[in-house]
Amino acid sequence: MIQKKICLLGASGVGKTSLVKQFVEGIFNEKYLTTIGVKVDKKVIELTDKSVQLMIWDLEGIDRYCGFQAKYLRGASAYAIITDQTRSQSLVEGIEIHNMAREVTDAPAVLIVNKADLDVAWHWSEKEVNAYRQDFQGYFNTSAKSGSEVEAFFSCIAKLASD
């Protein structure tokens, strides 16, 4: 069995945990997130030629005042930066986190704009968002609530991690 470690990063409240909640099998309580800053879940993804077991490290929300736990990124085959389309700040912080992550890993990264079920309420134009997208190997506009694009996101990151 091929196993790949991936990390979910992003500012607090962007919905990282919600994104994986209905989609993975886990045994650990969410309080791990607040105590040690990470919770590990797993999900087997069927790709066209093989199946990959993703070990999904859901990292605690990072804001500008708390440090970035670079160790958690070690050995990750890919990571995702999650942002929230109702908060402009979440993209700024997401890009900062992405830049910090780039210092310790060159693994492929995916940009996620979450909460697609709500109306767009940030001041970023499509053009600006597209400019940021260039730094990433994948982009998805997901909704943890409706499940829209969630599966596509995990399939894409599994594929990026396996290549």
Summarize as ranges the residues that interact with other proteins (CB under 8 A). Answer: 1-5, 26-28, 32, 36-42, 52-53, 55, 57, 69, 71-72, 74-77, 161-162
User: Of 61 and 132, which has the nearer Cβ to other proteins?
Assistant: 61
The CB-of-152 to other proteins minimum distance in angstroms stands at 21
The CB-of-8 to other proteins minimum distance in angstroms stands at 13
The CB-of-44 to other proteins minimum distance in angstroms stands at 11
Q: Give dist(CA 16, CA 35) in Å, integer.
A: 17
User: Of 43 and 145, which has the nearer Cβ to other proteins?
Assistant: 43
User: Of 52 and 129, which has the nearer Cβ to other proteins?
Assistant: 52
- Please report where in the chains the tokens 């990124």 appear, as a residue: 73
DSSP secondary structure letter of residue 71: G
The CB-of-1 to other proteins minimum distance in angstroms stands at 6
Q: Which residues contact 7 (CB under 8 A, 6 or more apart)?
A: 56, 57, 59, 72, 73, 76, 79, 80
User: Of 55 and 95, which has the nearer Cβ to other proteins?
Assistant: 55
